[in-house]
Amino acid sequence: MKFPWKTLLLLVFPLAFLLFLGRDFAYPIRGLYSDLAISHYPNAEFLRSSLVKGEIPLWSPLLFAGYPFAANPLSGLHYPPGWLALIFTLPLGFNLIAALHLVAAGGGMFLFLRNEGLGDWPALCGAIVFQAMPKIISHYAAGHLTLFYSVCLTPWLLWAEQIRSSAMATKRLERAVLPGVLLGGILLADLRWAPYAAVLWVTFAVVRESVRRSRTTVRTVFRFLGGLLLQVGTAVLISACIWLPLLEYVSLSTRAALTSAERVGISLPFSNLLGLFIPSLGGYAEWELYAGALPWLLLIFTLAVPEVRKRAWFWLALLGVSILAALGGSLPGYAAMTGLPGFSLLRVPARALFLTGFAFAVITGIALDHLSKNRIEQKPEPVFFMVPFAAFPLLLAGGLGLYLGGYYQPFAWAGVAIAVAIALVLMIETKWLTSMPTQFLISAFLLIDLVGMDATLVQKKTLHEVIGSQSELLAYVLPKPEFEYRVYSPSFSLPQTVTAEAGLGLIDGIDPMQLAAYASFFSRASGIPIRGYTVTLPPFETGDPANANASFEPDAEKLGLLNVKYVLSAFPLEVDQLRLVSNIDSVNVYENLAFRERAWVEDRQGEIGSVDVLAYSANQVVLQAEGPGLLVLADVMYPGWGASLDGDAQPIQTYQGVLRAVQISAGTHRVVFSFHPILVYAGWGITLASGILIALLVCVGRRWVKRVG
C-alpha cells in the first residue's frame, strides 16, 4: 500500500509532543508526582549503569533492601524498544521513544481503518483521534510509560488479524502467527494492558470470521479456534521472560493479598460520564474519557443514521461495554469477579476507557467515510440531535461565569467546540465546500481540539527541578567509596529519583510490587502500620508525605539490621538511638547509632564481628569473614539466591525472616552470594527459543509458498 501525502499529518502531533517536552520530564498539570520520574527514571539509570559494567541486572539493591529486578514488570528489562531510550540522556530518551510510539499508534490505526474499507482521509482522521487521545497523553504525564507503549501498539494487533485472516486463503504462512507476535509484544511492553487488548482482538476476530463466512461448518470452527490458540500460544511463548518470573513474585508479594475492594479501587465514578463531551482540562488520568467534540457528534450521527449504525455496530458495542467495565466497583457484582485468577493485575477498571477511545477513533472514521460518500436526506436531520449538546454546556458556562464567577472553562470549551463541529458536519453533509478544503478544516479542527485538550493535561519539569533541589541533602548522606549503607525516610524526603544515579540504597520507596515478608518487617522497623495494599513503603494514609507519619516512632535497632545509617525526616523524631546531626532544606538528618554494616558475623553469645565486602554488584556479593558464627548479609532473601563457602555450596538461612545468612566455621572464609533465578532463565530461554522457531517457520513458509506458486 502506498501512503498518501496526507498521512504526513500523523507526524504533526508526535513532533509537537517531542518539541514541547524536549529534555524535560512530563508531569500531570495538577500533580506533584510522575511515575516517569519516580519509577522509570531510576530503573533506566540502574539498568544503564549495570550494562556499562557488563552486567544484566537481575536483582536491584536500590529499594526495599533489594528486590528481584528481572521479575518486576516495570523494570524495562524485557521490552527491547524501550532500551533505545538508554542511548540518549534521560528524560529526552523517554520522550523520543514515546514520540515514536505515537507515530506507530497513528500509522497502525490508519492501516487498520484502510483495511476496513475506509478512504484515506476518514482513516487518517480516525488515526488522529486515536493518536492524540487525551487519555493516552494524560497517562504519559502520570508517568505510566510501559502502559503508554502497550496501548500505542494495539491497532497493530487488529491490523495483524486482518492480515492473518486474509492470508489463510492465499497460503501466506509467514503471516500465520502475526497477531500472536504482536500480542506478545504488547505483553512485553505492559502485562496490565494485554488482557484488554486480547479481549478486543478475540472478539474482533470472531466477528470478522462470522461476517466473512456465509456458511459455518464444524471443520471451519475448529480451524478458526485452532488459529486463535496458535496466536495465544505464540504470545505466551514470546512473553515468557516477563510473566514466568512474575508468577513467583506475585505469589510472594503484597498483591497476593489484595481484597476485592482494593481490586476495584480506581473505578470511573458515574458523575464523570459527563466527560464524554465536557473536557476535564487537567483532570485525573484514570478518569479521562474525552475523545473530542467532533468524535462525540459523529457518535450521535452514527446512532441516528441506520446505514452507519449497522456498519459500526461492533464499535458501538465496544464503546458501551468498555464504559461499563470502567465503572467497575460502581456496578453490582463486579467486585465478586475480582477473585478470578489474574484480576490483581487489573487493579484499575478505569483503564478500560482506552478501549472507549479506540472505539471513538474507529466510529469517527466510519462516520466521516459515510459523510464523504453520501448525501444525507433523512428527516429529522442527524444535526437536530447534536444541537442540545452545544446549547447545554454554553448555557451552563454562561451561568457559572456570571453568577458563580468560576469553573466555566470546561463547559465553554465544550459548547464552542461542539458548535464549530456541528458547522463542520453540516459543511461536509451539504457539500458546501469542495472535498479538499473541507478535509483540511476537519483535520485541523481535530488536531486543535485534541492538542489543546492534551496541553491542559501536561506540564514539564527540568531534570534540575526534579532532582537538583535535593543535591545538598544527597551529598551529605551519600556513602564514601569504602562504605556501604542505606538511608530511610518516613516522609519521602529523599526519593529514589534523586538517589538512583548515585546508587544510594533505600529501605523505603515506591513500587507496586513489594515482598510481603519484607513489608511486614519494614512495618516493625519503621513503626508505621500497613493497613491493606499500598504502592509506597511507608504508606502515607493522609496523602501528605511530610506529615502523614509524624505520630509513629521507628525502631532504630531494626533499622540498623537493614544497614540504615541515616534517617531523613521532615518532622522531628524523639528516638534514643537516633542522633540529630544536621538540618538541610528543612529536612532533619539523624544518624542511627544502632547502625550495622552491610554484613556481619554473629556468634552464639550475640557478639558482632566485622566482614569485608570484597565485591558488591547487582547479581553477586563477595565477602570475607572470620568465623565461627552466623554471617548475615543485610539484603533481602528471595528464591534464586545461592551461597558458596570457600567455593563449596552452602545452604542459605533467613535472618529475622527476611535477610540472607550462612553458617560459617572457625577461620577466615570467602563467602559468595549469587543470584541465579531459575524462572528468569527459563523465561528467557523460552522467549529466545520461540523467537528462533518463529523465524525458522517464516523462512520455511516463504520457500514453501514459492514452490507451490
Please write the tens of the pLDDT for every residue from 394-433. 777 777 766 666 667 888 888 888 889 888 888 888 777 6
Q: Is the pTM of this model over 0.85?
A: yes
End of a domain among 461, 481, 502? 461
CATH of the domain at 616: 2.60.40
Cell numbers standing for residue 37: 520520574
Note whether residue 699 is domain-resident: no
Helices (H), 239-312: 240-251, 260-263, 293-304, 306-311
Note whether residue 18 is domain-resident: no
Query: Which tens digit of pLDDT belongs to each residue from 114-148?
Result: 999 999 999 999 999 999 999 999 999 999 999 99
From CA 88, how far away is CA 95, in angstroms rounded? 10
From CA 270, how far away is CA 288, in angstroms rounded? 13
Q: What is the mean pLDDT of residues 537-548?
A: 89
What is the number of domains present in the chain? 2
End of a domain among 461, 484, 513? 461
Cis peptide before 245 (omega within 30 of 0): no
From CA 415, how far away is CA 393, in angstroms rounded? 5
Q: What is the 3-state secondary structure (H, E, C) of 614-632?
A: EEECCCEEEEEEEEEEEEE
pLDDT of residue 706: 47
252 within 8 A of 346, measured Cβ to Cβ: no
Whether 76 has a pLDDT exceeding 60, the answer reads yes
The radius of gyration of the chain's CA atoms, rounded to the nearest angstrom, is 28
pLDDT of residue 482: 58
Note whether residue 195 is domain-resident: no
| Comparison of pLDDT for 695 and 250, the residue scoring more | 250
Confidence band for 1, pLDDT divided at 50, 70 and 90: low
pLDDT of residue 242: 94
- Asked which of 273-277, 432-436, 485-489, 522-526 is least confident by mean pLDDT, the reply is 432-436
Backbone phi, psi, residue 369, to 5°: -60, -40
Note whether residue 202 is domain-resident: no
Confidence band for 705, pLDDT divided at 50, 70 and 90: very low
pLDDT of residue 627: 85
pLDDT of residue 214: 64
Q: Across 178-182, 335-339, 465-469, which has the greatest mean pLDDT?
A: 178-182
Note whether residue 376 is domain-resident: yes
Confidence band for 177, pLDDT divided at 50, 70 and 90: confident
Sign of the C-alpha dihedral, residues 265, 271, 273, 275? Answer: negative
Longest dimension (CA), the chain: 97
> What's the domain range around 660?
607-676
Note whether residue 375 is domain-resident: yes
User: 109: closest CA among 323, 285, 366?
Assistant: 366
Cα–Cα–Cα angle for 147, 678, 149, rounded to 5 degrees: 10
Backbone phi, psi, residue 249, to 5°: -60, -45
Task: Give the list of residues 6+ apart from residue 546 with CB closer than 8 angstroms, or none.
Answer: 491, 492, 570, 571
Note whether residue 362 is domain-resident: yes
From CA 613, how far away is CA 590, in angstroms rounded? 25
Note whether residue 291 is domain-resident: yes
Cis peptide before 628 (omega within 30 of 0): yes
Cell numbers standing for residue 422: 456541528
- Asked which of 376-380, 614-618, 669-673, 704-708 is least confident by mean pLDDT, the reply is 704-708
Q: What is the mean pLDDT of residues 54-59?
A: 94
End of a domain among 404, 434, 461? 461
Backbone phi, psi, residue 557, to 5°: -70, -45
